[in-house]
């Protein structure tokens, strides 16, 4: 059996892929990506994620409203998300969280949308995909309270940007830590040290495509086939084989998202 990688965070429904989406999906399979979790950012993209998952057996969906779009989470949108969240190919609620870097929605609205969608995840019994940018303290305070009553595993901190103490606490709460393309960047010494210290059994890999393209394609559009460069860098840092990193991180993703393949 060849290499099997799982890209746990993509945005293949975004317009960046309109011209060649099906070819990108084929290239991912050719590159050994056995499964993809395509993550919603608002209601329309959550609907598109579910449609993609219905059309492709290896694609799964997450549904949620990103903190940037928190102001769009009305009661009607929340109800529609709730209906989508019960779909058999929806494996998580996300991406949800707080973004105090760009502040595209006001803080109080972000907090409210985060709370409402954590409650939705509890209702449907699915894990969460967390976006946290420059809001580590606030995100952890909310997750600490929420994760208490939850069955493990509870979710993933996507494109992790916190420190080792935060990562360890999140793992203690039942979260996985997801590593994206920046781990391959020259200036990522701190992130590589974090990867070195954390157990592989708690790591996931992702592209967050079309963003965060890893070296050597930095500057170009990202796509799921490039998740291999993230896996390679983790293997190098942890002095393991690429096969071992692929195998364990794929097992982790299957355990978290209960992927049925």
As measured in angstroms, the least distance from the Cβ of 2 to Ni ion is 27
As measured in angstroms, the least distance from the Cβ of 240 to Ni ion is 26
**Strand spans (E) along 20-125:** 33-39, 59-63, 90-99
Nearer to Ni ion, 34 or 181 (CB): 181
**Phi, psi for residue 147 in degrees, rounded to 5:** -70, -20
Site for Ni ion in 205-244 (CB under 5 A): 208
- Binding-site string for Ni ion from residue 137 to residue 166, where x marks contact by CB under 5 A and - marks none: ------------------------------
Query: Which one of 17-25, 115-123, 170-178, 202-210 is the stretch in contact with Ni ion (CB under 5 A)?
Result: 202-210
Nearer to Ni ion, 63 or 238 (CB): 63
Whether 222 and 214 have beta carbons less than 8 Å apart is answered as yes
Query: Which one of 28-36, 73-81, 115-123, 203-211 is the stretch in contact with Ni ion (CB under 5 A)?
Result: 203-211
Non-local CB neighbours of 72 within 8 Å, separated by 6+ positions: 42, 43, 65
Whether 71 and 42 have beta carbons less than 8 Å apart is answered as no
As measured in angstroms, the least distance from the Cβ of 105 to Ni ion is 16
Residues that bind Ni ion (CB under 5 A): 208
């Amino acid at each position: 059996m060849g290499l099997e990688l799982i890209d746990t965070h993509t945005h293949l429904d975004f317009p960046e892929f309109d011209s060649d989406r099906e070819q990108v999906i084929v290239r991912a399979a050719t590159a050994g990506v056995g499964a993809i979790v395509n993550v919603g950012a608002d209601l329309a993209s959550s609907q598109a994620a579910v449609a993609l998952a219905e059309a492709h057996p290896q694609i799964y969906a997450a549904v949620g409203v990103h903190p940037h779009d928190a102001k769009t989470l009305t009661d009607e949108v929340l109800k529609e998300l709730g209906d989508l969240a019960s779909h058999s190919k929806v494996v998580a609620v996300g991406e949800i969280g707080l973004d105090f870097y760009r502040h595209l929605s006001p803080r109080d609205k972000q907090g409210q949308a985060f709370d409402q969608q954590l409650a939705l995840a509890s209702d449907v019994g699915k894990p969460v995909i967390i976006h946290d940018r420059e809001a580590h303290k606030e995100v952890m305070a909310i997750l600490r309270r929420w994760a208490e009553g939850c069955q493990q595993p509870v979710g993933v901190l996507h494109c992790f940007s916190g420190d080792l103490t935060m990562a360890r606490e999140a793992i203690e709460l039942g979260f996985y830590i997801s590593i994206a393309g920046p781990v391959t960047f020259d200036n990522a010494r701190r992130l590589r040290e974090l990867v070195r210290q954390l157990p592989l059994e708690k790591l996931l890999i992702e592209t967050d495509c079309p963003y965060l393209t890893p070296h050597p394609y930095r500057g170009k559009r990202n796509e799921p086939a490039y998740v291999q460069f993230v896996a390679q860098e983790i293997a190098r840092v942890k002095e393991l084989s690429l096969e071992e990193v692929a195998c364990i991180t794929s097992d982790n993703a299957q355990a978290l998202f209960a992927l049925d393949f």
